[in-house]
Chain A
């Protein structure tokens, strides 16, 4: 099943009220957790799933993120955007989760080698999903594109969430798109003529 990524960006704009809910959460309003969890969890789940995490792992990371958010909720400053704050925490949880998984799998002996699905492409009718293409990018570029395109953060918000600068985020995104073009072109060279640059 496919969806328009543009819709995610649009949906994010409806989260203006999330800032208010966050303030109420700090004031221990019992309605605030449900409102925040309902509004932010779908995006967070997509964020975790984008790194090829299984559904179970993504659910674990989602829970862990909310526990950390709860523990450090006093560090949110009322009036400031919630999304960079939340995704900075989620990003950290994902790094810890990745390390944990890596440590566990390093001790497991694989019984058979399961080949990774190739990221080769491309015929118009067989266009791979954006998530499949992301898997072929280096981790920093993949993280930036995930935040920009799948979660729907702005450049500034992505820079804040990754403790980076807007310039650095732009540079990574440009490189990522360049790489995606190469991947798409490599797969589709036999079928179609060159571009119009």
Chain B
């Protein structure tokens, strides 16, 4: 038994009370562990909530008590995927799937497969984000950035960089189409997501914006026969990056507005008022 073991037991919460013989022996001989263990067993935070506050909270909750149906994550997941697939299908139907014939089978399967996996991962992360206290296998902070880096890497590997005439004119046409698609899809996506609890508007905004952007990116990947890597990176993947940026910005604005609004809408105990948020 050494100090590191004691740290491990403190972290795991397995130190126990009373101590096991090993722990007892070490703590008795080690001044540092003695201090640490003693310190972690003391707290001055013993005050209880006042009964007046508790009654006030209770009365406000009861005033608005109605049965609610628990949110089904599977339905939310299915709804988000359905919106994505439907939007891409409609866009490709209207624009035409010219890129499929222009790409080699390897290029088509890898880029479309990567887009499908990234979309699934992003939707899954979004569903976890709108349900508080969910376990995340991958940190939600890493998912949007990871997806953009993965897509950029795949595009750079699959397609060639070549000089292109009218680069910006062609890019702008694709960007405009992709942004329009993303903006349209953002509305139904937001309507689904607002059914949950968005605790971190900036993070969820970035992920939702990226998902809307990926609708544009996927549609362009199926439609646009221009296979130059620079074009795909700027005007196809650019739609997703732009979507994530707009979503992040919107989330930050919502976050700031929330923190301004919340306190002023809650009367203190004894102040009266029964309106819920």
72-92 of chain A: CB within 8 A of chain B: 72-78, 80-81, 83-89, 91-92
A174 & B17 in contact (Cβ 8 Å cutoff): no
Residues of A within 8 A of B31 (CB): 188, 192-195
**CB of B273, distance to nearest CB on chain A (Å):** 12
B62 & A33 in contact (Cβ 8 Å cutoff): yes
Interface readout for B30-67 with A: 1 if CB under 8 Å, 0 if not? 11111110111111111111100110111011101111
- Complex formed: what's the CA distance from A108 to B29 in Å? 50
A33-B61, A85-B133, A100-B259 as given contacts; A131 in contact with B44, CB under 8 Å: yes
B32 & A6 in contact (Cβ 8 Å cutoff): no
A73 & B68 in contact (Cβ 8 Å cutoff): yes
- Residue B101 interfacial (CB < 8 Å): no
Q: Identify A184's interface contact among B39, B62, B68, CB under 8 A.
A: B39
A30 & B62 in contact (Cβ 8 Å cutoff): yes
Residues of A within 8 A of B57 (CB): 33, 37, 41, 62-63, 66
**CB of A185, distance to nearest CB on chain B (Å):** 6
A64-B262, A168-B139 as given contacts; A184 in contact with B36, CB under 8 Å: yes
Residues of A within 8 A of B48 (CB): 42, 45
- Residue A150 interfacial (CB < 8 Å): yes
- Residue A26 interfacial (CB < 8 Å): yes
A71 & B39 in contact (Cβ 8 Å cutoff): no
A195 & B32 in contact (Cβ 8 Å cutoff): yes
With an 8 Å Cβ cutoff, the count of chain A residues facing the other chain is: 97
Residues of A within 8 A of B199 (CB): 88-89, 91-92
- Residue A5 interfacial (CB < 8 Å): yes
The closest CB in chain A to the CB of B26 belongs to A196
Residues of B within 8 A of A68 (CB): 197, 277
Residues of B within 8 A of A173 (CB): 10-11
- Complex formed: what's the CA distance from A174 to B102 in Å? 54
Q: Identify A74's interface contact among B35, B45, B70, CB under 8 A.
A: B70
**CB of B39, distance to nearest CB on chain A (Å):** 6
Q: Identify A195's interface contact among B3, B39, B259, CB under 8 A.
A: B3
Residues of A within 8 A of B134 (CB): 160, 163
B32 & A194 in contact (Cβ 8 Å cutoff): yes
Residues of B within 8 A of A80 (CB): 133
Binds A, one of B146-154, B176-184, B233-241, B263-271: B263-271
Q: Can you name 27 A-B pairs with beta carbons within 8 Å?
A: A2-B42, A5-B40, A5-B41, A6-B41, A37-B54, A46-B43, A62-B57, A63-B268, A66-B60, A67-B276, A70-B60, A71-B276, A76-B70, A83-B133, A92-B199, A96-B262, A128-B39, A154-B13, A163-B129, A163-B136, A165-B137, A173-B11, A184-B32, A188-B31, A192-B31, A195-B3, A196-B26
Q: Which residues of A contact B (CB under 8 A)?
A: 1-6, 8-9, 26-28, 30, 33-34, 37-38, 41-42, 45-46, 49-50, 55, 59-60, 62-64, 66-68, 70-78, 80-81, 83-89, 91-93, 96-97, 99-100, 103, 121-122, 124, 127-133, 148-150, 154-157, 159-161, 163-165, 168, 170, 173-174, 177-178, 180-181, 184-185, 188, 192-197
In the complex, besides A41-B57, A174-B8, A197-B3, 19 extra interface pairs with C-beta distance below 8 angstroms are A4-B41, A4-B42, A9-B13, A28-B65, A30-B62, A33-B61, A37-B61, A62-B49, A67-B60, A70-B64, A72-B197, A88-B132, A97-B263, A124-B38, A170-B11, A181-B36, A185-B32, A195-B33, A196-B2
